[in-house]
C-alpha cells in the first residue's frame, strides 16, 4: 500500500473517531437567564394540558451571590408553573417543606395542574438518548405526574409518589431510552411535571440526568452500530417509500424522505473502507505511525480553532 493511500485511510479512521464522540447536554450546566437559554438547547415553559402547545415562561428571577448564580427560577405568569435551578454546592430549602439539592433542577406544576416543562430542542439532525430520574423533593409528600414527550408525543409517564426525608430525596420514576431516537434539527424532547392526586402544593419534583447525541454513524440504517452492506439493503427497501418506519431507518438526513442524499451519506461513510478493500484491514507498520500523525493533525487543527474562537 502506498504511503499516500495509507495516510488517507488513517485520516478516515481519525475522522470517524472524531465524529463518534457523543455530545452530552446537561440542563444544569446549560441553564440561562434568557429563554431559550444562550448556554445550550434548553427552553423553559408550560403545558396547560398534555397535547396543548408549549408556552414559554415569561418571567425569570435570578438570585446571585458574589456574582455567582444561587438560584434561577423560570415562572409562567399565567399558571405559576415554574422551573428552578440551584447552582450552588449547598442544599436550598423553602418554608413549605421543599428542597433543592446542590447543582440541581426542580420542576413544580401550576395551581391548576399545569405542567412545568423543560424543553430540549435538537441543534442538529442526529440520534439522541436520554436518562432522566425524577425524585420527590417535598417533605410533605410528592405525588406529581412525570412525563417525557418526543416531538409532542408522550413516550414515558408515571407518578412520583414519595417523600423526602432530610437530605434523602424521595424515589421516583427513572426513564431511559431503550434505543436512540432519531430527531431532525429542531425536534424536541420535553421533560414535564404535572400535579398528581393530592393537588399541586407539595409537588416539587427534582430531575437529574442528561440528554446526549447518540452519534450513530451516518449511514447506519439498521441501527446495529456499524455501516455495511446491510444498511444499503435497508436503504433500497425504503427508497421513496410512501411512509418511513420509526428509527432506525434510512432517512439519514432526517428530511422526511429516503432518497439519493441518504445513499450518499451511506456511501461516504462506507466508501473509504470498501474502496481500499482487504488491504486496508491489516495496515502496514508504517500506517500505524501515519494514523498517529493523522490524529495529531486533527488535534492541532481543533486546538487552533479553539484559539481563534477564544
Looking at the structure, tell me whether residues 28 and 49 fall in a common domain: yes
| φ, ψ (nearest 5 deg) of residue 216 | -60, 140
Looking at the structure, tell me whether residues 116 and 153 fall in a common domain: yes
SS3 per-residue string spanning the chain: CCHHHHHHHHHHHHHHHHHCCCCEECCCCCCCCCCCCCCCCEEEEEECCCCCCCEECCEEEEEEECCEEEEEEEECCCCCCEEEEECCCCCEECCCCEEECCCEEEEECCCCCCEEEEEEECCCCEEEEEEEEEEECECCCEEEEEEEEECCEEEEEEEEEECCECCECECCCEEECCCCEEECCCCEEEEEEECCCCCCCCCCEEEEEEEEECCCCCCCCCCCCCCCHHHHHHHHHHCCCCCCCCCCCCCCCCCCCCCHHHHHHHHHHHHHHHHHHHHHCCCCHHHHHHHHHHHHHHHHHHHHHHHHHC
What is the per-residue pLDDT for 95?
Answer: 87
Looking at the structure, tell me whether residues 16 and 34 fall in a common domain: no
Residues 2-44 have pLDDT tens digits of: 554 444 444 444 444 444 457 899 999 999 889 999 999 999 9
Of 154, 183, 213, the domain-final residue: 213
Mean pLDDT, to the nearest integer, of 129-149? Answer: 95
Check residues 224 and 75 and name the one with the higher pLDDT: 75
Looking at the structure, tell me whether residues 200 and 286 fall in a common domain: no
What is the per-residue pLDDT for 66?
Answer: 73
Question: What cell does 233 get?
Answer: 439493503
- Return mean pLDDT, the chain: 81
pTM score = 0.69
What is the per-residue pLDDT for 216?
Answer: 66
Distance, CA of 64 to CA of 71 (rounded, Å)? 7
Looking at the structure, tell me whether residues 80 and 179 fall in a common domain: yes
Distance, CA of 57 to CA of 62 (rounded, Å)? 14
Looking at the structure, tell me whether residues 186 and 246 fall in a common domain: no
Looking at the structure, tell me whether residues 178 and 37 fall in a common domain: yes
Residues 54-68 have pLDDT tens digits of: 999 999 999 886 777
CATH of the domain at 277: 1.10.1330.10
Mean pLDDT, to the nearest integer, of 296-308? Answer: 43
| Structural domain count, the chain | 2
Looking at the structure, tell me whether residues 206 and 276 fall in a common domain: no
Helix 260-276 and helix 229-238, axial crossing angle in degrees, nearest 10 = 160
Q: Choose the weakest-confidence range: 3-7, 67-71, 95-99.
A: 3-7
Burial of 304 (0-12, 13-18, 19+ CB in 10 A): exposed
Residues 214-272 have pLDDT tens digits of: 876 778 888 777 788 899 999 999 999 988 886 678 888 878 899 999 899 898 888 65
Looking at the structure, tell me whether residues 255 and 208 fall in a common domain: no
Of 213, 247, 267, the domain-final residue: 213
Of 213, 242, 257, the domain-final residue: 213
Residue 155's domain spans which residues? Answer: 24-213
CATH of the domain at 113: 2.60.120
Amino acid at each position: 500500500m502506498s504511503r499516500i493511500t495509507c495516510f488517507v485511510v488513517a485520516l478516515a479512521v481519525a475522522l470517524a473517531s472524531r465524529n463518534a464522540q457523543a455530545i452530552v447536554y446537561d440542563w444544569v450546566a446549560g441553564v440561562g437567564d434568557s429563554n431559550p437559554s444562550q448556554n445550550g438547547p434548553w427552553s423553559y415553559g408550560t403545558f396547560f394540558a398534555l397535547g396543548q402547545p408549549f408556552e414559554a415562561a415569561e418571567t425569570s428571577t435570578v438570585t446571585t451571590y458574589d456574582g455567582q448564580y444561587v438560584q434561577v427560577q423560570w415562572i409562567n405568569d399565567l399558571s405559576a408553573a415554574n422551573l428552578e435551578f440551584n447552582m450552588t454546592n449547598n442544599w436550598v430549602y423553602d418554608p413549605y417543606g421543599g428542597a433543592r439539592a446542590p447543582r440541581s433542577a426542580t420542576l413544580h406544576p401550576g395551581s391548576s395542574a399545569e405542567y412545568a416543562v423543560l424543553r430540549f430542542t435538537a441543534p442538529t439532525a442526529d440520534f439522541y438518548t436520554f436518562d432522566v430520574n425524577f425524585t420527590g423533593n417535598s417533605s410533605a409528600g410528592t405525588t406529581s405526574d412525570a412525563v417525557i414527550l418526543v416531538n409532542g408525543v408522550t413516550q414515558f409517564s408515571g407518578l412520583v409518589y414519595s417523600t423526602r426525608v432530610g437530605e434523602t430525596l424521595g424515589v421516583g420514576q427513572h426513564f431511559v431510552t431503550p434505543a436512540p431516537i432519531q430527531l431532525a434539527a429542531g425536534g424536541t424532547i420535553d421533560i414535564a411535571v404535572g400535579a398528581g392526586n393530592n393537588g399541586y402544593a407539595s409537588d416539587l419534583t427534582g430531575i437529574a440526568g442528561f440528554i446526549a447525541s447518540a452519534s450513530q454513524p451516518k449511514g447506519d440504517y439498521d441501527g446495529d452500530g456499524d455501516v455495511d452492506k446491510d444498511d444499503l439493503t435497508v436503504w433500497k427497501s425504503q427508497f421513496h417509500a410512501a411512509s418511513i418506519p420509526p428509527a432506525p431507518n434510512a432517512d439519514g438526513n432526517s428530511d422526511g424522505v429516503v432518497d439519493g442524499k441518504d445513499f450518499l451519506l451511506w456511501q461516504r461513510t462506507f466508501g473509504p473502507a470498501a474502496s481500499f478493500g482487504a488491504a486496508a484491514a491489516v495496515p502496514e507498520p508504517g500506517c500505524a505511525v501515519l494514523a498517529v500523525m493523522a490524529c495529531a493533525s486533527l488535534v492541532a487543527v481543533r486546538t487552533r480553532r479553539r484559539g481563534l474562537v477564544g
